[in-house]
Amino acid sequence: MKTLLFFLCCSILLISSCTRDTELEPVPPTAYLMVYNGAPDFHGINAMAFVNNKYYGDRTYNANGRGLIGAYNFSDYNRVDTGKLRITYTDSATDRDKATKVLESVLDFDQEKHYTVYLLDSIGFYSILYTQDDVERSPTHAMLRLVHLSPDAGPVHLRIDTEAVPGIAGVNFKGTTGYVPVLPDIKPGIRIMYYDQATGEEKTLTRKSFPLEAGKCYTMVLRGYRISRDDNPNKTINLSTITNF
């Protein structure tokens, strides 16, 4: 008798559990968003980012949400809705009631895709650039791409040590490249190059070194001014890299 009662109780609990599970709402479609501030005039100033008027996070210059410092950091994707979303940046995060929009744009996000939205400017004229970040990884190579956010750098190309990287050449302001497979290396010399208009000579614009690992995907961000408008060295040409995946 006790065995029968135990069996009946378990059956009731199982049926109840199954019923609750079948009544759960389906998971809504999701995309993944990272927000990066590439506008030099926001150095030392926290701007706010909003998605459909909902606060997303504070961003100072060269910040992506993971405390990006110097040349190297990891991605910081957060879940957002799919479809057309309104992305807004403000001029301040110190007083939200008095903050003013510097830019607003409507962008489209697909389900289960990863995106980065970049705030950039050209001498105070703000704009947005966004990239879809997903790519098939390589088990033997690192995947590398370049996003050009430097208003006065002109067209650039990439060399790793002395070797030109096919597919990352002739990149202008607001330009992005696709991911390019490169050999992994512990300490490669990554050089952003340009051609001097007066002499035609190839010159190094900036150089960084950071490890490139097989199976990982990286976005290099060229940022800052060649000629800073206020002599602030933190706003001059530099290169950051985010490990997307």
Express each pLDDT in 93-113 by its tens digit: 666 677 888 999 999 999 999
The range of the structural domain enclosing residue 174 comes to: 136-245
Would you state the pLDDT for residue 12? 46
CA–CA dist 32, 37 (Å, integer): 17
Would you state the pLDDT for residue 27? 72
For the ranges 25-34, 58-67, 126-135, the one whose mean pLDDT is highest: 126-135
CA–CA dist 39, 61 (Å, integer): 6
What length does the chain have?
Answer: 245
CB proximity list for 23: less than 8 A, separation 6 or greater: none
Would you state the pLDDT for residue 125? 86
Report the candidate in 179, 161, 186 with the shortest Cα–Cα distance to residue 219. Answer: 179
CA–CA dist 11, 134 (Å, integer): 45
> Is the residue at 180 inside a domain?
yes
Residues 245 and 140 reside in one and the same domain: yes
Residues 130 and 140 reside in one and the same domain: no
Name the 3-class secondary structure at 63: strand
Tell the burial category of 156 from Cβ atoms under 10 Å away from its Cβ (0-12, 13-18, 19+): buried
Residues 156 and 219 reside in one and the same domain: yes
Would you state the pLDDT for residue 71? 72
